[in-house]
Amino acid sequence: MTESARSASVPAPPLTDTAHAILDAAFAEVLAHGIRRTSISDIARRCGIARQTLYRYWPDAQAVFAALVTRELVAALPAETAAPRSLTELAATLVGTADRIRRMPLIVRLRDTDPELLSRYLLDRLGTSQYVVHAELARLVAGGQSAGFVRPGEPTRLAAMLLLITQSAVVSAPLVDEWLDDSDWADELGSALSGYLRPDPS
């Protein structure tokens, strides 16, 4: 999620300490007041820097929030070191990640107070972190195909459907909780992801 689709192909440089401190301040402000009520001045004040300093990093509050969501979501992704060795392990990794993202205070806050920002990334265009998630999914699909536990098919194509399934489960889970409690949610998402990736039984 976050930032323009066009910038996604150009990886952002690593954040400096000041940039991280600005995002930390923005995070605290958003959790306390929501995105709509958080201004550049609020963030600069909490960070203890001048507004002009902040503008050297991001042009407006929207860009700060975008970078914040990207930082938080990317941090929630699984480490690249642990390659799943079976479809069961792969599905468990994906469900665990989706569950972590679903419970992230920033995501909960966005759902509750700033749904129009979240919905932009469901209805309008992908953001940077969705591109990162898609690339990570494609990498896991390709790894599973090499190991023989994922069916053949263009990894970017399979990853696109995995992204659609998983992000819907993450953002819309509360809407179906009368039928899917938290434990069912994890079980059924796992069934959906492994059922989709399983090599053809015929």
Task: Point out which residues bind a second copy (CB under 8 A).
Answer: 111, 115-116, 118-126, 130, 134, 154, 156-161, 163-165, 167-169, 171-173, 175-176, 179-180, 184, 188-189, 191-192, 194-198, 201
Q: How near is the Cβ of 61 to a second copy at its closest, in Å?
A: 20
Among candidates 143, 118, 136, 159, which has minimal Cα distance to 77? 136
- 77 Cβ contact partners less than 8 Å away, ≥ 6 residues apart: 97, 132, 133, 136
Angle at 169 between CA 172 and CA 153, to 5 degrees: 140
Q: How near is the Cβ of 102 to a second copy at its closest, in Å?
A: 12
Q: How near is the Cβ of 44 to a second copy at its closest, in Å?
A: 30
Residue 113 Cα to chain centre, angstroms: 18
Identity of the residue, 17 or 200, whose beta carbon is nearer to a second copy in the bound complex: 200
Q: How near is the Cβ of 140 to a second copy at its closest, in Å?
A: 15
DSSP label at residue 150: S
Identity of the residue, 19 or 117, whose beta carbon is nearer to a second copy in the bound complex: 117
Spatial contact of 51 and 58, defined as CB atoms under 8 Å apart: no
